[in-house]
Amino acid sequence: MSEERSPYDSFLATKRALRHSGGKTLSAEALNSILFAHQRQLTTWALQKGRAALFCDTGLGKTFMQLEWAKQIGERTLILAPLAVAYQTVREGDKLGIEVQYVRSQHHLDMWPHQLIYITNYEMVEHFNPASFGAVILDESSILKSIDGKTRSKLIEMFRATPYRLCCTATPAPNDIAEFANHAEFLGICTREEMLSMFFVHDETGWRLKGHAQNAFYRWMASWAMMVKTPSDIGFSDDGYILPPLSVSPVWIEGDAQKAAAEAGQLFLTGLEGIRGRSVARRVTIADKIAKATAILNASDERWIVWCILNEEGQQLAKLVNDSVLVEGKDSPDSKTQNLISFLEGCHRVLITKASIAGHGLNLQNCHNMMFIGLTDSWEAYYHAIRREWRYGQQSPVNVQIVLSDLEAPILENIQRKEAQALEVGRQMVEAVSGYQQEELGILEFSQNGYHEAEQAGAHYTLLMGDCVERMKELPAESVDFSVFSPPFLSLYVYTDSERDMGNSRNEAEFFEHYGYMLQELYRIGKPGRLTAVHVAQVATKLVTDGHIGLRDFRGKVIAAFEDRGFHYHGDITVDKNPQAQAIRTHAKGLLFKQLRSDASWLRPGLADYILLFRKPGENAVPIHPDISNNEWIEWAHPVWYGIRESDTLHAAEGRAQQDERHVAPLQLGVIKRCIRLWSNPGEMVFSPFAGIGSEGYQAILLGRRFIGIELKESYYNAALKNLEAAVTRTKQGILFSMIPHPTAQGG
């Protein structure tokens, strides 16, 4: 019989940034038997989620999966697809025995009132009332990135209330933040700002994953999106899913460097710098490229796809290449669709078009030859164009030829560099997310992210490693004389990726709920009438993640949290800070000299540190007799503590992990020293639930107190052990303090 989950365990489960199921539960066996095992498993998962994304590589069966999803969800469904893809989807539906009706406006729905599944093109979406549908599917949903911001926002807004939503596309670029954010927002998982604030940090290189956020980000992704390049990525066999050989060959022509230099306004051609240089090189070599391409295409009797960049290239080729059809941007949607379909049905030997028109979604396996007339610097456009032919199910080797002038060699080198980088990063990401996806699919059991506990007792201390809420339960009631600590400050994935880390909270409500579990135990173990000193600071908000620049009253909320758990608010101390040093360190807009000259409405004082004091109700059984003079008390009784050196801390480098986004900022030793001398007696027990690198324990031992501390992060725990032992060595007082009892023992 399994143990009942505690309230704290249940809370931790909600902290894992996962979206719960909101769809329909079916067994994989209940789905169409035509679907392969991995397709049934993914479709079952997407049905259970209700709102999900299938990022599956070309040829893995996204169309089958989305149609079966629509059938089983049982709601009137609208599928949005690129041009000509709708035609292919209708044919795929016939294979499954699922009727899919192509429509172009809301009016057409009245012609088939009993139809469940409709499909239209993205260009037609404004002609439909989203309230008419209980489900929507975005086929080739990466279009969310390529369409303009206004259209994308309208699409997201149109279907915000649609109960069931599915996005299907090939695996996105692994570092494409925009694509992940757009999908998450369309599906109602979270906004772009929420995703960025949870997992990303902005620095001089742009947005990047926080070091400790990687595992959390991948687990979060797996809760709403499946990223699959091969069936084995989710634990299935790759039989039948081996790509055919791919041959990519540049076809070089000699470019006229002198002519290109003249076009660029140069005496000598100095390279293809910027868009202008590339455009010049392309224009001056059009005739030679067309001649070379025409010769190759007309000498072949096989089918070809030709990708152009300029309209002029396509128009000239259409006149010269035998049995060809040209699909241009200026064509009407009907004309584009008809010409693409005519090529698919074998009515033409050569298709001439642009990657922006037919480079997404279409299955063009009826052809295994491809030609690029020059290249742009977009590896993504190049890759997706190749995948129209080079996909699972292709029976022939794929031949790709790139007609280039020698002037454009740097473009090809750039594409090859991007390709190598993208494929390696993509491989790493799929490997990283694979385990979490298999947990989601029920193939693997949920892992605990390597959480483990340890403890060590020294001459004057006991240090525990683990979750402070859990480990505090091992301490006897009313055993602590004085507590002093600095809690985490609402900073996601800065030091660890554990849900047990209080800093890893998505919002204030979640943070203070977690904080409350700690306070409950802190109240239990504290002696009546004794004090707790808590170091806090106000938390700055950021425009990019919070929507405004300002402050959160973290100090006030900590006070409220203590009072809610039964503590009495006893007083506070402001710790003086240097605002100029703060400005240099944080670059806060409100502290900069330039703001003084441009707009002083943004100026604000520097942020002070605070020591908040709380008293546990009851009578203090043992009076405290501080070893301080009257003059010291006059200085320390002041509401502002001056003379605290910000650099007066233990060295933190040895506790910092490579993934840490910030250096650990230990509480100043001078602050800890004053607190311990004022509010505890020699030989008494000092406690910190967030021991960090051991600053509180270090000072407690030097001042003749005993110490118990708890630390979650292993590298900090190890650093704290060294610092506590260093303090023991430094005492050299010849006074034998009582050994600290094991935490489970009774008494103080």
pLDDT at residue 477 tops 80: yes
Residues 213 and 109 in one domain: yes
At residue 357, φ and ψ (nearest 5 deg) are: -95, -45
pLDDT at residue 256 tops 70: no
**How far apart (Å, rounded) are the C-alpha atoms in residues 529 and 306?**
83
Contact (CB, 8 A) for 212 and 659: yes
| Proportion of the chain above pLDDT 90, given as a percent | 56
Residues 268 and 198 in one domain: no
Contact (CB, 8 A) for 518 and 511: no
Say what the pLDDT of residue 504 is.
86
Say what the pLDDT of residue 4 is.
73
Question: What token pair was written down for 433?
Answer: 């997310």
Residue 336 belongs to a domain = yes
Residue 159 belongs to a domain = yes
Question: What token pair was written down for 257?
Answer: 């460097």
DSSP-derived 3-state class of residue 373: strand
Residues 208 and 283 in one domain: no
Per-residue pLDDT tens digits for 654-702: 555 555 555 556 789 999 999 999 999 999 999 999 999 999 999 999 9
pLDDT at residue 376 tops 80: yes
The burial class, CB within 10 Å (0-12 / 13-18 / 19+), for 25 is exposed
**How far apart (Å, rounded) are the C-alpha atoms in residues 97 and 523?**
65
pLDDT at residue 739 tops 50: no
Residues 211 and 285 in one domain: no
Boundary of a domain, candidates 382, 412, 442: 412
What is 643-664 written as a DSSP string? ---TT-S---GGG--TT-SS--
pLDDT at residue 610 tops 80: yes
Residues 498 and 629 in one domain: yes
Per-residue pLDDT tens digits for 346-356: 999 999 999 98
The residue-averaged pLDDT of 448-477 equals: 91
CATH code assigned at 281:
3.40.50.300
What is the pLDDT of the chain when averaged over all its residues? 87
Residues in the chain: 748
pLDDT at residue 726 tops 90: yes
**How far apart (Å, rounded) are the C-alpha atoms in residues 220 and 302?**
46
List the one residue out of 714, 721, 708, 719 whose CA is nearest residue 651.
719
Residues 599 and 675 in one domain: yes
Boundary of a domain, candidates 648, 674, 690: 690
CATH code assigned at 77:
3.40.50.10810
pLDDT at residue 19 tops 50: yes
At residue 167, φ and ψ (nearest 5 deg) are: -115, 135
Boundary of a domain, candidates 690, 718, 737: 690
**How far apart (Å, rounded) are the C-alpha atoms in residues 737 and 748?**
14
Residue 355 belongs to a domain = yes
Residues 180 and 290 in one domain: no
List the one residue out of 323, 304, 325 whose CA is nearest residue 314.
325
Neighbouring residues of 390: CB distance < 8 A, sequence distance ≥ 6: 58, 243, 244, 246, 398, 400
**How far apart (Å, rounded) are the C-alpha atoms in residues 740 and 748?**
9
In this structure, of 173-182, 258-267, 325-334, 456-465, the range with the lowest mean pLDDT score is 258-267
Residues 259 and 224 in one domain: no
Residue 708 belongs to a domain = no
CA torsion 49-50-53-57 (nearest 10°) is 80
Residue 323 belongs to a domain = yes
pLDDT at residue 370 tops 70: yes
**How far apart (Å, rounded) are the C-alpha atoms in residues 86 and 88?**
5
DSSP summary character for residue 732: -
Residues 595 and 659 in one domain: yes
Residues 218 and 285 in one domain: no
Please give the tally of structural domains in the chain. Answer: 3
Residue 720 belongs to a domain = no
For the chain, how big is the Rg over CA atoms in Å?
33
CATH code assigned at 669:
3.40.50.150
Residue 712 belongs to a domain = no
**How far apart (Å, rounded) are the C-alpha atoms in residues 649 and 224?**
44
Residues 508 and 599 in one domain: yes
Higher pLDDT, 592 or 66: 66
Residue 701 belongs to a domain = no
User: What H or E segment, with its residue span, contains residue 701?
Assistant: helix 695-702
Residues 311 and 338 in one domain: yes
What domain range is 41 assigned to? 12-234
What is 32-47 written as a DSSP string? -TTS-HHHHHHHHHHH
